[in-house]
Structure 1
Amino acid sequence: MESQGVFFMMMKFSYGLVFILALAACSNPTKEAPAGTYYDLKSYIEQQISQLKSQQPTVLKQAGFGDEKEQQTTKDIDWSRELDLFLQADINKQAYQASYLKNRPDSLTYEYVLKPGEKLPVQVLRIELDSATRQPRLVKATLRTKNSLYESERNVWLESETGTLKRYHMEGFQQLAWLDEKRFLIDGEVKE
């Protein structure tokens, strides 16, 4: 039991360090892009966070950092923090207006790929809508940050049914210039 507490304490410290470094590494324009520039992922994720906070569903969650992995069933989740990487994947910012190639393979799919030469954290964002609800049923994104001190890559996806989050997954690595690469994984399945 004591090793579990140490593991989660190290995870919190590591994610806190990653969060601080990620904020320092990239600019975060606060102005949103004009309506219609990109899909409004931020509003969807904020709505999910609000809904999950009020429902407090049971979640089967797996978390890993390096070679350590833990699995637990819990209702005690800070949803704002848990889904923060999906908020970071939102590209609907004024400074990003001309930074992405847009593709609509069909009427239910939005794809955005960072243009060559652009230096923004979100490399790829794909959103697939449910044909009945017109709400996202799948969101996938790849985020990368690299500077002289720090490098990270985060691959995230979530699945929803009828507009409600059912599963989310985040994995990747983080590496400080003077340390070995550390891989991480978070996978959650909403049971209620």
Structure 2
Amino acid sequence: MGRCHNFIYLLMLVGILTSCKKEEKGPFANPTQIDKYFPLTQFLQKSIDKVGDAEVVKEVRFNEESEIVDFRMDSLVWRQELDFFFQADINKASLASSYESIEESGLLIHRLKPAEKGTIKEIKVSKQSGKIASITILSVIDNLFYNSTVEGLIKMNDNEEISSYRLSGNQKVWFLSNTKLSVEGKVK
């Protein structure tokens, strides 16, 4: 009887080992990401890859002060410079039903529904001749002690490479005066 049990266990073990197959290793899917809205992160990364190292003239305005800098941007600097836009990607499972999408001729708009909560109020993607011409993002944070409004705009050339970008915003902290900030960059 003991040999019979050992034989059955051996058959089960052989069955288990032969039924297992080796799977290809790939990147884990991010369960929090969805593909419902415009793929902002992927589009920006492709555009950065296309434009590559580029010379950019950037003007930074803080309230009444202004500074102009000329520098070269590689993919890492582009990613840092456009962080606001990357952070504004609404393709998250938690936001799957938070936005209404409107598509008109040459314009795609994702607008936060009135009853929903979120800082990204609107994303507008403008197309010309079937290619992305510009992306505009409106972000608003408003509570009793703090108010911040930021509008971002990226313009593309005919090859969907970044030609310019702009961020402008106002911040108001309850006890402090209003702060205005503007950053505008143009690819040479």
| TM-score for the superposition, normalised by structure 2 | 0.75
Q: Which of 108, 117, 126 is residue 119 of structure 1 equivalent to?
A: 117
Tell me, in whole angstroms, the C-alpha distance in 1 between the residues paired with 2:46 and 2:124.
Answer: 19
In the TM superposition, 1:6-85 aligns within 5 A as: 31-33=32-34, 35=35, 37-52=36-51, 55-75=52-72, 78-85=77-84
Q: CA deviation at 1:67?
A: 1.0
Identical amino acids, percent of aligned pairs:
24
- Tell me which residue corresponds to 1:138: 134
Taking a change above 3 Å as real, the CA distance of residues 30 and 144 of structure 1, as seen in their structure-2 partners, is: farther
Structure with the greater alpha carbon radius of gyration: 2
Q: CA deviation at 1:189?
A: 0.5
Counterpart secondary structure, 1:44: helix
Counterpart secondary structure, 2:42: helix
Which string of whole-angstrom CA distances, capped at 9 and with x for unpartnered residues, describes residues 55-109 of structure 1? 3211111001111111122215722221011112211111111111110112x42
Q: Which 5+ residue runs of structure 1 have no aligned equivalent?
A: 1-28
- Tell me which residue corresponds to 1:147: 143
- Tell me which residue corresponds to 2:94: 95
Structure 1 contact 61–73 (Cα < 8 Å) conserved: yes
Instruction: Give 2:125's aligned amino acid.
Output: I
Taking a change above 3 Å as real, the CA distance of residues 88 and 30 of structure 1, as seen in their structure-2 partners, is: farther
Q: CA deviation at 1:145?
A: 1.3
Structure 2 contact 152–166 (Cα < 8 Å) conserved: yes
Instruction: Give 1:173's aligned amino acid.
Output: N
Structure 1 contact 49–83 (Cα < 8 Å) conserved: no
- Which of the two has greater strand per residue? 2
Q: Which 5+ residue runs of structure 2 have no aligned equivalent?
A: 1-29
Aligned residue pairs, count? 156
Taking a change above 3 Å as real, the CA distance of residues 189 and 136 of structure 1, as seen in their structure-2 partners, is: same
